[in-house]
Amino acid sequence: MGNSIENKINLFSEAVKDARPLRLHNRILHAISKPKPVPKQFLRDEQQALVDSLSDHYIPAYELETGEEMLYLKDGHSPDVLRKLRRGKWVVQANIDLHGLISDEARCYVASFISDCKKRGIRCIRIVHGKGLGSRNREPVLKQKLRGWLMQKDEVIAYAQAKPEDGGSGAVIVLLQA
């Protein structure tokens, strides 16, 4: 057995005896680069900042709510924007459904969704919050919370209750900044 290893060493030595080392100053050697570290804490902090950006206890100084209908227009924007939104003049480009989510899950989902839409240049979205028929008191818990969350987002210009064919009182159409 030892003899075969010696033979292999001798064969190798014979095969490479005329080899010359590469001159490093004439060549660029590419080392295998280590993968960049994943900033896990930074990613966790970013996600928490999104969640923290929406409070359940936000009480706006000014809102356009009329009865049960959800309406909002950020200061400095023309009422025509809200009128067009209510009439369905904007094409809904993306939507999410909050059915079955608890409040904390919904808040996180809404924050992430709006952030993602903003990055992708999406202007008009629909958020289905439900009518509350499946909730404990058969009241729309997420509808009321969503109202406050949306008013806190700088990206939100306006929102209005969806037309009946788009979800009616169980959904809201939101217009985001360009």
**Residue 43: pLDDT over 60:** yes
Per-residue pLDDT for 35 more than 80?
Answer: no
| Alpha carbon of residue 56 to chain centroid | 19
Where in the chain are the domains?
Answer: 40-176
Q: How far apart are the first and last CA of the chain?
A: 76
How confident is the prediction for the chain on average, in pLDDT? 80
Structure tokens of 134?
Answer: 């499946």
pTM above 0.85, yes or no: no
Please enumerate in sequence order all residues whose Cβ is within 8 A of that of 145, keeping only pairs 6 or more positions apart, or say none: 56, 103, 106, 107
| Cα angle, residue 20 at apex, residues 17 and 23 outer, rounded to 5° | 165
- DSSP H helices in the chain: 2-15, 40-52, 79-86, 103-120, 141-152
Considering the segment(s) 40-176 as one domain, its CATH architecture is 2-Layer Sandwich (3.30)
Res. 138: pLDDT tops 90: no
Strands (E), 43-136: 71-73, 94-97, 124-128
Could you tell me what percent of the chain has a pLDDT over 90? 28
165 vs 138, higher pLDDT: 165
